[in-house]
């Protein structure tokens, strides 16, 4: 133990470590727990070993006192032996008849006559003295270890600085590891055990000369002890779960690990150790191997977990103790990364265990909330905990997937179809009545229906396997066991009766009823013949084979029923998205109840419109879930289609939140939605033309664009030449057409810049070239189908460009439709192949020419819309400012534009300026500028007027018109006080200066 005589403790200044004090404090808190626990365990073990070593040494010393005398001669016996030897020599020739003479002869032959001791006493003393030495050595070492442990703790508490203490902790602990103090501590009990073994060996040697029978008993005892000790030594090497072990176990473990590592492939030492420990836990330490065996995922581990938690559940007799356990169920089933399958078998085991009955315990805990003895806060918390647990149990319900038993499948993969589902163990739990828990009930009710459907699916799969087995037995001419099959049928029929939509699950086919067949088999008293059994199995198989077809219809109703219940809530149901995702698993667009879907859709749109919340509500989410299924529903009458279109139009017009509308349309087929709205312009009542035109503008304003990335839909509908053939009513016509034209340009620009068009055309060209004869190649047909949308977009933009005068060296032509591939004969295919190759070549050559005219086309579209704004004065097209903002954001032309485009834009600009002057009351800036003023401000702030010198403008007539318009606007926006850079007045001054510096054109424009 260190003391003050060793001198003062050196203190080394560590500047700059103070900011890390909190980090090192965390290390100290963890290291201190571990190191103190380690030191305390060492000291406690050493105290016990010191007591045992002291008692054992005392006992052993008493035995040695008796045994060591056999190692030295007895003086009296030696004298008597000498006399007897002399008498024997004197009478060597005579035969002794006197008793004294006979005694002398006997003493001369005695072992006490001074000869060396025999082997048994010598072995006894050797073993006992070795045992005593080992015992005292272990006692001394234990004393030193106790002192070392005390010193270790003392040194770690000398300094107050967290950084210095942490480094002392690390310094001392890694010193323990470096000098293998753990091995020294483990050697002490080994010495004691060895000492005890030597003692028993010496005891046997001691008793051999005393009494052979007692010696044999001691030998038997020693053999038993050695066998037991050896067994306890070897068992941990075979089974790591064995609690019996000795200090020799660790020694043998390390020896085996050394030889196993030597046999491993030749690798660098550290890499070999790491790789080998990953492959086999027996190549690591015994503690690491035990931890690996206890935590590695396996069937025994799951059984241990189930037994441990079953014991826990049985020991939780109070509801207050059960509640924390129920609160932990959701985190075992669902985590931040989604569904967890690690604990599925564990939870199912607790549900099915008759001694635990987790489902009944949760129900009982739910019933306790209605006792009236709980505080409102406690009651609400307990109800929510139970409802969350039930919801998570419902999320475990799944149809499953068929597995091959011969394969080693991933335990985290979906399980096989199972008739026993988690919520089967919950029957009619008490529904909470508090408003705070009402949002949980729709989700739980939907998952209960889903659980019922999954259970029926598992029953059908189980019955199908049994039928196949029975048919196989029949083919061998033997009678199958129908009792188990009948029980499975009864269980399925009972599960079907619990289904809300049992009428959708058929149990009859050709006048054969499954229920009647089951009762017929049960009531049949006489043994059935092979033919009767075969007919019965055939009838059952016919019914069972048609049942899975209806499951999709049941699943559709489960989903739609849940969405309908959500409509009646004031807020979003619990975990709406996850519940819907589960209910949509494997759902096909077949058998969708159109009436229920349309009614739920219309009801949610009405409520969403009435709320007018600026944020996304659960009604918007329900609409977004419903709309894709409404689009896929078959058999919708004209009236239903009109209801969907009218409700969608009203929702788009009156919802008042672009973010909410985008959420509702996020998962829908945008082309289908666009066609629904635009087609109603031709079939709706005259009084709805304006509403549908307005909805078309709102929908078009949500399409993505280069300048509108936020709160916009992620894609465009499929644009074709007929896209611009719609005819919205005034005043929506100009705004809608302008937006559509701009979106067609944006869609083409995105597809061209991302090289999608080039890659699709190139892939199609490769496929057509490779197939020289009529072919039904899947790759060819796939490329033809993929090019259809691209071809429509290219054709649409060609027809759009032909409407505007644009600068170019070669004129544009309208792209012909791609020839349809419906060819059967070789000659017809050859003609189609030539036409297709020519069409692909024409489109490939046309793309770069279209791209070079993109800038001027944007200018032409903005010019056209500005002309529409300047024609009808003072009225403007619908939302003219927002529309022109959308058009002018990307308005940039880097070279002289066509003369007509320059003049048209200049004349429209001047017309708006004149209109603004006529409408203005004062020459100063109005606090709230009107729409004409904002359109002009958007124009002068657009990229078109950002480039000094205005490179796109070189026509003298257009220059004059712009100079006139700028002077008019300068008078309008002339401020009475100084203004900052970027104001309309400063911007107009710059534009005016650029116009004044413009030179006359060097050549006439064509």
Structure confidence by residue, pLDDT tens digits, 307-334: 888 888 888 878 888 888 899 889 888 8
Beta strand 508-509 with 512-513: parallel, antiparallel or unpaired?
antiparallel
Average pLDDT of the segment spanning 534-556: 91
Which residue has better confidence, 402 or 786? 786
Which pLDDT score, from 0 to 100, does residue 979 have?
Answer: 40
Distance separating alpha carbons of residues 159 and 165, to the nearest angstrom: 6
pLDDT of 787-837, one tens digit each?
888 899 999 999 888 888 877 667 788 888 888 887 778 888 888 889 999
Structural contact between residues 969 and 936, judged by C-beta atoms closer than 8 angstroms: yes
Percent pLDDT > 70 in the chain is: 85
Whether the full predicted model's pTM is greater than 0.85, yes or no, is: no
Distance separating alpha carbons of residues 801 and 741, to the nearest angstrom: 10
Which pLDDT score, from 0 to 100, does residue 9 have?
Answer: 46
Q: Of 406, 264, 614, give the one whose Cα is nearest residue 274.
A: 264
Q: Of 918, 920, 935, give the one whose Cα is nearest residue 974.
A: 920
pLDDT of 457-467, one tens digit each?
999 999 999 99
Residue 104 has pLDDT above 80, yes or no: no
Give the other-Cβ count within 10 Å of 941's Cβ: 16
Q: Of 529, 565, 530, give the one whose Cα is nearest residue 448.
A: 565
Structural contact between residues 393 and 421, judged by C-beta atoms closer than 8 angstroms: no
pLDDT band at 651 (very low <50, low <70, confident <90, very high): very high
Average pLDDT of the segment spanning 735-741: 93
Structural contact between residues 891 and 943, judged by C-beta atoms closer than 8 angstroms: yes
Structural contact between residues 740 and 700, judged by C-beta atoms closer than 8 angstroms: yes
pLDDT band at 770 (very low <50, low <70, confident <90, very high): confident
pLDDT of 166-193, one tens digit each?
777 778 778 877 887 777 777 778 888 8
Structural contact between residues 704 and 713, judged by C-beta atoms closer than 8 angstroms: yes
Partners of 513 in the β-ladder: 508
Which pLDDT score, from 0 to 100, does residue 344 have?
Answer: 85
Which pLDDT score, from 0 to 100, does residue 19 have?
Answer: 58
- Reduced to 3 states (helix: H, G, I; strand: E, B; else coil), residue 334 is strand
Partners of 509 in the β-ladder: 512
Residue 719 has pLDDT above 70, yes or no: yes
Find out whether the peptide bond into 819 is cis, omega within 30 degrees of 0.
no
Which pLDDT score, from 0 to 100, does residue 922 have?
Answer: 44
Cα distances (angstroms) measured from residue 899 to each of 857, 920, 959, 1005: 13, 32, 11, 6
Distance separating alpha carbons of residues 818 and 838, to the nearest angstrom: 10
Average pLDDT of the segment spanning 87-106: 53
Percent pLDDT > 90 in the chain is: 19
Give the other-Cβ count within 10 Å of 885's Cβ: 18
What's the burial of 832, exposed, middle or buried (CB within 10 Å: 0-12/13-18/19+)?
Answer: middle
- What's the per-residue H, E or C state across 668-708? CCHHHHHHHHHHHHHHCCHHHHHHHHHHHHHHHHCCCCCCC
pLDDT of 350-359, one tens digit each?
888 888 888 8
Which pLDDT score, from 0 to 100, does residue 838 have?
Answer: 92
Give me the chain's average pLDDT, please: 80
Average pLDDT of the segment spanning 131-149: 81
Average pLDDT of the segment spanning 732-753: 91
Average pLDDT of the segment spanning 945-953: 85
Which pLDDT score, from 0 to 100, does residue 813 have?
Answer: 80
pLDDT band at 28 (very low <50, low <70, confident <90, very high): confident
What are residue 334's phi and psi, to 5 degrees?
-135, 135
- Reduced to 3 states (helix: H, G, I; strand: E, B; else coil), residue 114 is coil
Q: Is the dihedral of CA 964, 967, 971, 974 positive or negative?
A: positive
Please give the structure tokens belonging to residue 919. 């409408």
Which pLDDT score, from 0 to 100, does residue 79 have?
Answer: 59
**Residues in the chain, overall count:** 1006
pLDDT of 258-275, one tens digit each?
888 877 654 444 444 444
What are residue 338's phi and psi, to 5 degrees?
115, -155
Highest mean pLDDT among 113-117, 339-343, 751-755, 802-806: 751-755
Distance separating alpha carbons of residues 448 and 121, to the nearest angstrom: 84
Q: Distance of alpha carbon 485 from its chain centroid, rounded?
A: 39
Which pLDDT score, from 0 to 100, does residue 257 have?
Answer: 82
Structural contact between residues 422 and 347, judged by C-beta atoms closer than 8 angstroms: yes
Residue 101 has pLDDT above 90, yes or no: no
Q: How far apart are the two ends of the chain, measured CA to CA in Å?
A: 106
Which pLDDT score, from 0 to 100, does residue 614 have?
Answer: 87
pLDDT of 41-78, one tens digit each?
777 778 877 887 778 778 777 777 777 666 665 555 55
Beta strand 334-335 with 512-513: parallel, antiparallel or unpaired?
unpaired
Which pLDDT score, from 0 to 100, does residue 741 have?
Answer: 93
Distance separating alpha carbons of residues 649 and 673, to the nearest angstrom: 10
Structural contact between residues 434 and 483, judged by C-beta atoms closer than 8 angstroms: no
Which residue has better confidence, 67 or 760? 760
Find out whether the peptide bond into 384 is cis, omega within 30 degrees of 0.
no
- Reduced to 3 states (helix: H, G, I; strand: E, B; else coil), residue 200 is helix
The two most distant CA atoms of the chain are separated, in Å, by: 171
> Can you list the pairs that 399-405 forms with residues at least 24 positions away whose Cβ atoms lie under 8 Å?
399/453, 399/454, 399/457, 399/458, 399/585, 399/586, 400/454, 400/457, 400/458, 402/461
pLDDT band at 448 (very low <50, low <70, confident <90, very high): very high
- What's the per-residue H, E or C state across 290-330? HHHHHHCCCHHHHHHHHHHHHHHHHHCCCHHHHHHHHHCHH
pLDDT of 341-400, one tens digit each?
888 888 888 888 888 888 888 888 888 888 888 888 888 899 899 999 999 999 999 988
Which pLDDT score, from 0 to 100, does residue 204 have?
Answer: 79
- Reduced to 3 states (helix: H, G, I; strand: E, B; else coil), residue 338 is strand
Give the other-Cβ count within 10 Å of 270's Cβ: 8
Rg (CA), the chain: 48
Structural contact between residues 53 and 142, judged by C-beta atoms closer than 8 angstroms: yes
Distance separating alpha carbons of residues 476 and 912, to the nearest angstrom: 95
Structural contact between residues 438 and 413, judged by C-beta atoms closer than 8 angstroms: no
- Reduced to 3 states (helix: H, G, I; strand: E, B; else coil), residue 513 is strand
Average pLDDT of the segment spanning 875-901: 87
Beta strand 334-335 with 508-509: parallel, antiparallel or unpaired?
unpaired
pLDDT of 699-712, one tens digit each?
999 888 654 445 57
Which residue has better confidence, 214 or 323? 323
Residue 139 has pLDDT above 70, yes or no: yes
């Amino acid at each position: 133990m260190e003391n003050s005589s060793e001198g003062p403790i050196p203190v080394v200044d560590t500047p700059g470590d103070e900011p890390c004090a909190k980090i090192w404090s965390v290390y100290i808190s963890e290291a201190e727990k571990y190191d103190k626990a380690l030191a305390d365990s060492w000291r406690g073990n050493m105290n016990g070993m010191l007591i045992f070593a002291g008692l054992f040494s005392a006992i052993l010393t008493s035995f040695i006192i008796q045994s060591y005398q056999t190692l030295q001669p007895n003086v009296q016996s030696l004298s008597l032996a000498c006399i007897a030897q002399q008498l024997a020599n004197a009478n060597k020739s005579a035969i002794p008849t006197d008793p004294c003479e006979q005694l002398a002869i006997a003493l001369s032959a005695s072992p006490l006559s001074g000869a060396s001791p025999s082997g048994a006493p010598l072995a006894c003393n050797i073993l006992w003295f070795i045992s005593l030495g080992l015992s005292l050595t272990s006692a001394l070492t234990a004393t030193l270890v106790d002192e070392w442990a005390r010193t270790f703790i003392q040194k770690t508490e000398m300094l107050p600085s967290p950084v210095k203490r942490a480094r002392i902790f690390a310094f001392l602990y890694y010193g323990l590891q470096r000098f293998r103090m753990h091995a020294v501590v483990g050697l002490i009990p080994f010495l004691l055990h060895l000492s005890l073994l030597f003692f028993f060996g010496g005891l046997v040697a001691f008793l051999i000369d005393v009494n052979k029978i007692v010696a044999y008993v001691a030998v038997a005892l020693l053999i038993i002890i050695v066998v037991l000790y050896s067994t306890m030594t070897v068992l941990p090497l075979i089974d790591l779960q064995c609690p019996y072990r000795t200090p020799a176990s660790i020694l043998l473990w390390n020896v085996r690990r050394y030889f196993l590592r030597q046999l491993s492939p030749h690798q660098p030492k550290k890499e070999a150790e790491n790789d080998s420990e990953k492959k086999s836990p027996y190549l690591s330490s015994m503690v690491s191997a035990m931890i690996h065996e206890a935590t590695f995922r396996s069937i025994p581990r799951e059984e241990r977990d189930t037994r441990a938690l079953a014991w826990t559940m049985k020991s939780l007799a109070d509801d207050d103790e059960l509640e924390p356990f129920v609160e932990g169920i959701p985190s075992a089933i669902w985590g931040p990364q989604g569904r967890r399958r690690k604990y599925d078998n564990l939870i199912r085991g607790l549900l099915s265990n008759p001694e635990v009955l987790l489902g009944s315990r949760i129900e009982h805990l739910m019933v306790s909330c209605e006792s009236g003895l709980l505080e409102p806060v406690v009651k609400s918390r307990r109800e929510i905990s139970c409802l969350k647990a039930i919801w998570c149990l419902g999320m475990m319900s799944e149809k499953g997937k068929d597995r091959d038993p011969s394969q080693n499948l991933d335990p985290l993969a979906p399980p096989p179809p199972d008739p026993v589902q988690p919520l089967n163990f919950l029957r009619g739990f008490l529904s909470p009545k508090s408003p705070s828990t009402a949002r949980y009930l729709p989700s739980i009710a939907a998952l209960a229906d889903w659980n019922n459907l999954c259970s029926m699916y598992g029953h059908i799969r189980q019955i199908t396997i049994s039928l196949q087995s029975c048919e196989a037995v029949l083919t061998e001419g033997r009678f199958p066991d129908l009792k188990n099959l009948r029980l499975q049928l009864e269980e399925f029929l009972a599960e079907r009766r619990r289904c809300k939509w049992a009428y959708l699950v058929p149990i009859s086919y050709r006048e054969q009823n499954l229920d009647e067949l089951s009762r017929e088999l049960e009531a049949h008293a006489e043994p059935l013949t092979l033919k009767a059994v075969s007919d019965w199995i055939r009838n059952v198989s016919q019914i069972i084979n048609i049942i899975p077809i209806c499951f999709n219809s049941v699943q559709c109703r489960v989903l739609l029923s849940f969405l309908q219940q959500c409509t009646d809530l004031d807020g979003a149901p619990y975990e709406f998205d996850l519940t819907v995702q589960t209910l949509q698993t494997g759902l096909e667009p077949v058998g969708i109840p159109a009436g229920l879907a349309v009614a739920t859709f219309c009801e949610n749109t009405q409520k969403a419109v009435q709320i007018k919340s600026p944020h996304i509500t659960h009604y918007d989410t329900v609409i977004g879930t419903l709309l894709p299924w409404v689009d896929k529903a078959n058999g919708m009458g004209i009236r239903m289609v009109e209801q969907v279109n009218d409700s969608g139009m009203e929702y788009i017009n009156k919802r008042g939140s672009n973010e909410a509308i985008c959420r509702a349309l996020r998962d829908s087929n945008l082309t289908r939605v666009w066609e629904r709205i635009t087609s109603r312009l031709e079939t709706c009542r005259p009084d709805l033309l304006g509403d549908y035109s307005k909805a078309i503008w709102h929908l078009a304003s949500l399409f993505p664009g280069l300048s509108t990335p936020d709160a916009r839909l992620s894609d465009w509908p499929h644009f074709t030449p007929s896209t611009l053939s719609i005819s919205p009513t005034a005043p929506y016509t100009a705004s809608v057409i302008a937006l559509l034209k701009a979106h067609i340009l944006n869609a083409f620009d995105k597809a061209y810049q991302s090289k999608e068009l080039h890659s699709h055309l190139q892939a199609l060209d490769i496929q057509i070239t490779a197939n020289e004869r009529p072919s039904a190649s899947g790759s060819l047909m796939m490329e033809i189908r993929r090019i259809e949308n691209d071809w429509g977009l290219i054709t649409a933009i060609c027809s759009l460009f032909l409407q505007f005068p644009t600068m170019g060296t070669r004129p544009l032509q309208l792209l012909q439709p791609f020839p349809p591939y419906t060819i059967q004969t070789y000659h017809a295919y050859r003609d189609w192949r030539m036409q297709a190759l020519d069409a692909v070549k024409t489109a490939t050559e046309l793309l770069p020419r279209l791209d070079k005219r993109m800038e001027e086309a944007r200018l032409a579209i903005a010019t056209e819309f500005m002309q529409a704004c300047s024609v009808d004065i003072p009225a403007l097209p619908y939302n003219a400012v927002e529309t022109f903002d959308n058009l002018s954001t990307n308005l940039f032309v880097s070279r002289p534009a066509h003369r007509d485009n320059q003049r048209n834009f200049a004349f429209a600009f001047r017309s708006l300026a004149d209109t603004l002057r006529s409408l203005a009351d004062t020459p100063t800036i109005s606090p709230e500028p009107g729409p004409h003023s904002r359109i002009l401000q958007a124009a002068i702030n657009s990229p078109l007027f950002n480039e000094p010198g205005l490179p796109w403008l070189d026509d003298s007539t257009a220059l004059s018109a712009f100079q006139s318009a700028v002077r008019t606007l300068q008078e309008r926006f002339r401020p009475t006080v100084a203004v900052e850079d970027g104001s309309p007045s400063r911007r107009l001054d710059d534009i005016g200066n650029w116009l004044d510096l413009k030179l006359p054109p060097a050549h006439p424009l064509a």
